[in-house]
């Protein structure tokens, strides 16, 4: 088994800076943090750089090509919040160190005709990429579509989803108002309660799509574990207190809210460190935006993020990035994770808190005990960047090297 020692770099272990520390990788694992490099180890000189755990995007919709793009930006795991990359279908991805690893909810509980059907042109089927090329590597049974037409049906769908390889269970709570499609069919409280209770009875983590304060309140009343969006309206003291008291985590996806408010990803796309890694389809997508909620204000979202952080609510970095299509724009796999961290810092988090939100906090809340930190025995999912992102968050884009399971990604 090959042994590699990364020496001379400052280490951020997912929770805190450790100073200049040697990290040793053997095969796919981290075997030593601190001390001297073992004799015979291949040395990677990390002078002037910072070693981080591989980043985790806690809200994506993805496929093999997108996972490859994410990895180029040091994102070693993507958490899919509706899609086809369930446990039995992703074996080729799990074994391929040229793409990011993935976990998936499979398909979310939503009523017939409910969100996200309003987002797509009639001939577009999310999770089934046109041409079939992008999704390559899928095996096993087709993804299971749960039935959320009644509390009983929702509860009965949960063991089916888990049997089909869902890693956690997602609930859509959306009446379409934020997307400019008011009146969409939406889960009612009783169906949501029954689904969440059934999932938790089976030991599954539950997450909700909720873009409004009302939907957030419904999710919390049902006992949800986490929210994979942040409401777009200005926060109230009541909702911040409710989130805090419930102990739920939030994946704000500030970049998505910005896109819905009409802010494109032009600024990120103009960064040469980003432009050099995007093809023309992703460049065009990043330079676009959703734009369904122009009445919203990004500063309200940033203020909510700060209020939640001050209340010690666990915040996780996520983007809601999807396919390279301008109507899903303002986002790009991997790149947008870095912009999300920049938004969190703009909201008032420290750079270290933003890094935690993309590593250790996410691993802990999603029960991924083998990653998200630099510690002995964990997966060698690592990102080495020039500079010091614990003081300058934009330094996360100064990629020097990426390792996935100890395999260094070819430059
Ligand atoms: Zn999403």
List the CATH number of the domain containing 338. Answer: 3.20.20.140
pLDDT tens for each residue of 205-214: 999 999 999 9
* CB burial string 138-150: b at 16+ within 10 A, e below: beeeebbbbebee
179 with 230, same domain: the answer is: yes
pLDDT at 114 (0 to 100): 93
Q: How far is the CA of 340 from the centre of ligand 1 (A)?
A: 15
Beta-carbon neighbour count of residue 200 at 10 Å? 17
Q: How far is the CA of 60 from the centre of ligand 1 (A)?
A: 6
Q: How far is the CA of 115 from the centre of ligand 1 (A)?
A: 10
Q: How far is the CA of 404 from the centre of ligand 1 (A)?
A: 25
Q: How far is the CA of 116 from the centre of ligand 1 (A)?
A: 9
Q: How far is the CA of 119 from the centre of ligand 1 (A)?
A: 11
Arithmetic mean of pLDDT over the chain? 94
Q: How far is the CA of 228 from the centre of ligand 1 (A)?
A: 8
89 with 19, same domain: the answer is: no
Q: With 90 as the cut, is the pLDDT of residue 227 above it?
A: yes
238 with 303, same domain: the answer is: yes
Beta-carbon neighbour count of residue 83 at 10 Å? 24
395 with 272, same domain: the answer is: no
Give the pLDDT mean for 163-171. 97
363 with 408, same domain: the answer is: no
Q: How far is the CA of 59 from the centre of ligand 1 (A)?
A: 6
Q: How far is the CA of 33 from the centre of ligand 1 (A)?
A: 36
Q: How far is the CA of 91 from the centre of ligand 1 (A)?
A: 23
Q: How far is the CA of 246 from the centre of ligand 1 (A)?
A: 23
206 with 322, same domain: the answer is: yes
Q: How far is the CA of 321 from the centre of ligand 1 (A)?
A: 7
172 with 256, same domain: the answer is: yes
Range of the domain at 14: 1-54+372-411
391 with 296, same domain: the answer is: no
Which residues lie below 8 Å from residue 331, measured CB to CB, with a gap of 6+?
255, 256, 259, 265, 285, 286, 319, 320, 321, 322
pLDDT at 264 (0 to 100): 97
Contact present, 145 and 153 (Cβ < 8 Å):
no
Q: How far is the CA of 279 from the centre of ligand 1 (A)?
A: 22
Share of the chain above pLDDT 90, in %: 90
Q: How far is the CA of 30 from the centre of ligand 1 (A)?
A: 32
Q: With 80 as the cut, is the pLDDT of residue 367 above it?
A: yes
349 with 394, same domain: the answer is: no
Q: How far is the CA of 2 from the centre of ligand 1 (A)?
A: 39
Number of domains, the chain: 2
Q: How far is the CA of 25 from the centre of ligand 1 (A)?
A: 34
Q: How far is the CA of 82 from the centre of ligand 1 (A)?
A: 7
pLDDT tens for each residue of 55-76: 999 999 999 999 999 999 999 9
Q: How far is the CA of 48 from the centre of ligand 1 (A)?
A: 37
Q: How far is the CA of 387 from the centre of ligand 1 (A)?
A: 32
CATH for 408: 2.30.40.10
- The protein residues having their C-beta less than 5 angstroms from ligand 1 (an ion) are 81, 320
Q: How far is the CA of 22 from the centre of ligand 1 (A)?
A: 38
pLDDT tens for each residue of 240-289: 999 999 999 999 999 999 999 999 999 999 999 999 999 999 999 999 99
Three-state helix/strand/coil letters over the chain: CCEEEEECCEEECCCCEEEECCEEEECCEEEEECCCCCCCCEEEECCCEEEEECEEEEEECCCHHHHHHHHHCCEEEEEECCCCCCHHHCHHHHCCCCCCEEEECCCCECCCCCCCHHHCCCCCCCCCCCCCCCCCCCCCCCCCCCCCCCHHHHHHHHHHHHHCCCCCEEEEECCCCCCCCCCCCCCCHHHHHHHHHHHHHCCCCEEEEECCHHHHHHHHHHCCCEECCCCCCCCCHHHHHHHHHHCCEECCCHHHHHHHCCCCCHHHHHCHHHHCCCCHHHHHHHCCCCCCCCCCCHHHHHHHHHHHHHCCCCECCCCCECCCCHHHCCCCCCHHHHHHHHHHHHHCCCHHHHHHHCCHHHHHHCCCCCCCCCCCCCECCEEEEECCCCCCHHHHHCEEEEEECCEECCC
What band does 124 get if pLDDT is binned at 50, 70 and 90?
A: low
37 with 115, same domain: the answer is: no
pLDDT tens for each residue of 71-112: 999 999 999 999 999 998 999 999 999 999 999 999 999 999
pTM of the full predicted structure?
Answer: 0.96
Q: How far is the CA of 17 from the centre of ligand 1 (A)?
A: 32
Beta-carbon neighbour count of residue 247 at 10 Å? 11
Burial class (CB in 10 A: 0-12, 13-18, 19+), 128: middle
Q: How far is the CA of 319 from the centre of ligand 1 (A)?
A: 8
Q: How far is the CA of 399 from the centre of ligand 1 (A)?
A: 27
pLDDT at 180 (0 to 100): 87
Contact present, 243 and 208 (Cβ < 8 Å):
no
Adjacency order of strands within the sheet including 101-104? 55-60, 75-80, 101-104
Q: How far is the CA of 137 from the centre of ligand 1 (A)?
A: 22
Q: How far is the CA of 81 from the centre of ligand 1 (A)?
A: 6
Give the pLDDT mean for 18-22. 98
Among the listed residues 353, 352, 341, the one whose alpha carbon sits nearest the alpha carbon of residue 310: 353
Q: How far is the CA of 289 from the centre of ligand 1 (A)?
A: 14
195 with 157, same domain: the answer is: yes
Q: How far is the CA of 331 from the centre of ligand 1 (A)?
A: 12
Q: How far is the CA of 297 from the centre of ligand 1 (A)?
A: 20
136 with 174, same domain: the answer is: yes
């Amino acid at each position: 088994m090959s042994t590699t020692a990364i020496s001379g770099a400052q280490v951020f272990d997912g929770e805190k800076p450790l100073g200049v520390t040697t990290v040793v990788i053997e095969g796919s694992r981290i075997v030593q943090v601190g001390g001297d490099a073992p004799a015979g180890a291949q040395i990677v000189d990390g002078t002037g750089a910072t070693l981080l755990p591989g980043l985790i995007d806690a809200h994506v919709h993805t496929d093999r090509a997108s996972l490859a793009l994410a990895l180029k930006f040091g994102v070693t795991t993507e958490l899919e919040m509706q899609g086809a990359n369930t446990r039995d279908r992703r074996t080729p991805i799990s074994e391929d160190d040229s793409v990011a690893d993935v976990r998936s909810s499979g398909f979310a509980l939503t009523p017939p005709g409910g969100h996200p059907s309003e987002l797509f042109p009639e001939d577009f089927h999310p999770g089934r990429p046109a041409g079939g090329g992008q999704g390559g590597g899928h095996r096993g049974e087709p993804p299971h579509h749960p039935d959320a037409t009644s509390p009983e049906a929702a509860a009965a769908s949960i063991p089916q989803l888990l049997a089909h390889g869902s890693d956690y269970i997602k609930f859509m709570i959306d009446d379409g108002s934020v997307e400019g499609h008011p009146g969409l069919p939406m889960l009612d409280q009783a169906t949501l309660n029954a689904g969440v209770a059934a999932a938790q009875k089976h030991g599954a983590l539950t997450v909700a799509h909720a873009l409004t304060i009302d939907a957030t309140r419904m999710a919390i009343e049902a006992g949800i574990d986490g929210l994979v969006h942040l409401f777009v309206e200005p926060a109230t003291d009541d909702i911040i207190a409710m989130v805090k008291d419930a102990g739920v985590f939030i994946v704000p996806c500030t970049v998505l809210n910005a896109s819905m408010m009409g802010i494109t990803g032009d600024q990120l796309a103009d960064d040469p460190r980003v432009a050099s890694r995007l093809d023309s389809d992703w460049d065009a997508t990043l330079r676009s935006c959703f734009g369904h909620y122009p009445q919203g204000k990004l500063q309200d979202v940033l203020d909510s993020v700060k209020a939640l952080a001050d209340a010690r609510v666990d915040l996780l970095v996520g983007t809601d990035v999807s396919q390279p299509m301008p109507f899903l724009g303002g986002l790009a796999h991997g790149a947008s994770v870095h912009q999300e961290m920049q938004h969190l810092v703009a909201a008032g988090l420290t750079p270290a808190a933003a890094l935690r939100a993309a590593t250790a906090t996410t691993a802990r809340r999603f029960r991924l005990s083998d990653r998200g930190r630099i510690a002995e025995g964990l997966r060698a999912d690592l990102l080495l960047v020039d500079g010091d992102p614990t003081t300058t968050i934009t330094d996360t884009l100064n990629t020097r090297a990426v390792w996935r399971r100890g395999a260094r990604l070819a430059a």
